[in-house]
């Protein structure tokens, strides 16, 4: 006797229900294998909260400019009281997969960093996020130093301060783009070094920054000194 004779025949509706149940089971298994990706930026923050036993995290900015695996990872920025979060994630067909979550605690609850500049693909960019909502205008001065040599035998090739007006990415995040000061026709050592720096050919030995926040009348609300401007592979 053939095996088919023992298997009951299903109606069209029964086959449809069977196929839907099988698809749901496959989807659940796939979600489980991928760690149950989040559908929203808020969902990523909730998951990061649980990792660090936090609560009440506010979404400041959802940086999605660059895709996973590129120069920078997409990043969600949040705030939980006096703690700032930067949550890297990867994209998948089922949602956003949490990669890493970094926490920052600053006296003024504002964190500044510069974005990695691989192969000269990006201009020099800085992002500040945190307690910025009271500011109507922002500006940043960034002092960059490039040296040559080792040990006590060093020579300064470039030391310049670049000023940039902030562009709001969100109420809680502002971006700054630094632009060269020397013209293309300038052949001085500092000018050549600057072009190589902005082209990603050389690295600066130090980045210092001053962030200033102003109200609508132009009154200075806050000034933040950053002695070492860290480089991060966050996207925005």
Handedness of CA 36, 42, 48, 49 (dihedral sign): negative
Residue 191 is assigned to a structural domain of this protein: yes
- Tokens found for residue 208: 């210092």
The pLDDT value given to residue 120: 53
Kindly state the helix (H) or strand (E) to which residue 54 belongs, with its residue range.
none
| Separation CA 123–CA 203 (nearest Å) | 13
Q: Are residues 131 and 43 in the same domain?
A: no
pLDDT lower than 50: segments of the chain: 1, 3, 22-24, 26-36, 66-70
Q: Are residues 84 and 141 in the same domain?
A: no
The pLDDT value given to residue 3: 47
Per-residue 3-state assignment (H helix, E strand, C coil) for 127-157: EEEECCCCCCEEEEEEEEEEEEEECCEEEEE
The pLDDT value given to residue 122: 60
Q: Are residues 101 and 149 in the same domain?
A: no
Q: Are residues 147 and 223 in the same domain?
A: yes
The pLDDT value given to residue 21: 56
Which residue range forms the structural domain that includes residue 228? 110-236
Q: Are residues 125 and 84 in the same domain?
A: no
Q: Are residues 164 and 47 in the same domain?
A: no
pLDDT (tens digit per residue) in 210-231? 999 999 999 999 999 999 999 8
Q: Are 147 and 134 in contact (CB under 8 A)?
A: no
Q: What does the DSSP assignment read for 4-23?
A: GGTSPPPPHHHHHHHHHHHH
The pLDDT value given to residue 27: 41
The pLDDT value given to residue 199: 85
| Separation CA 182–CA 13 (nearest Å) | 73
Residue 6 is assigned to a structural domain of this protein: no
pLDDT (tens digit per residue) in 145-192? 999 887 777 889 999 999 999 999 999 999 999 999 999 999 999 999
The pLDDT value given to residue 95: 73
Total tally of structural domains belonging to the chain: 2
- Tokens found for residue 141: 């001065």
Q: Are residues 122 and 198 in the same domain?
A: yes
């Amino acid at each position: 006797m053939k095996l088919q004779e023992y298997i009951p025949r299903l109606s069209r509706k029964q086959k449809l229900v069977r196929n839907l149940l099988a698809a749901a089971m496959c989807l659940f298994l796939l979600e489980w294998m991928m760690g149950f990706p989040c559908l929203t930026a808020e969902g990523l923050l909730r998951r990061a909260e649980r990792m660090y036993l936090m609560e009440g995290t506010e979404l400041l900015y959802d940086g999605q400019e660059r895709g996973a695996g590129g120069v920078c990872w997409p990043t969600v920025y949040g705030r939980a009281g006096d703690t700032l979060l930067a949550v890297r994630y990867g994209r998948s067909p089922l949602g956003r997969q949490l990669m890493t979550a970094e926490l920052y605690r600053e006296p003024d609850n504002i964190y500044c960093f510069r974005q990695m500049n691989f192969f000269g693909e990006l201009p020099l960019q800085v992002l500040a996020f945190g307690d910025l909502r009271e500011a109507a205008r922002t500006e940043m001065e960034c002092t960059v130093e490039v040296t040559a040599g080792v040990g006590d035998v060093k020579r300064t090739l470039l030391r310049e301060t670049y000023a940039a007006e902030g562009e709001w990415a969100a109420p809680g995040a502002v971006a700054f783009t630094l632009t060269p000061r020397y013209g293309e026709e300038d052949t001085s050592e500092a000018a050549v070094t600057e072009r190589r720096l902005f082209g990603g050919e050389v690295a600066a030995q130090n980045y210092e920054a001053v962030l200033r926040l102003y109200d609508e009348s132009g009154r200075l609300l806050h000034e933040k000194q950053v002695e070492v401007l860290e480089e991060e592979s966050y996207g925005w």
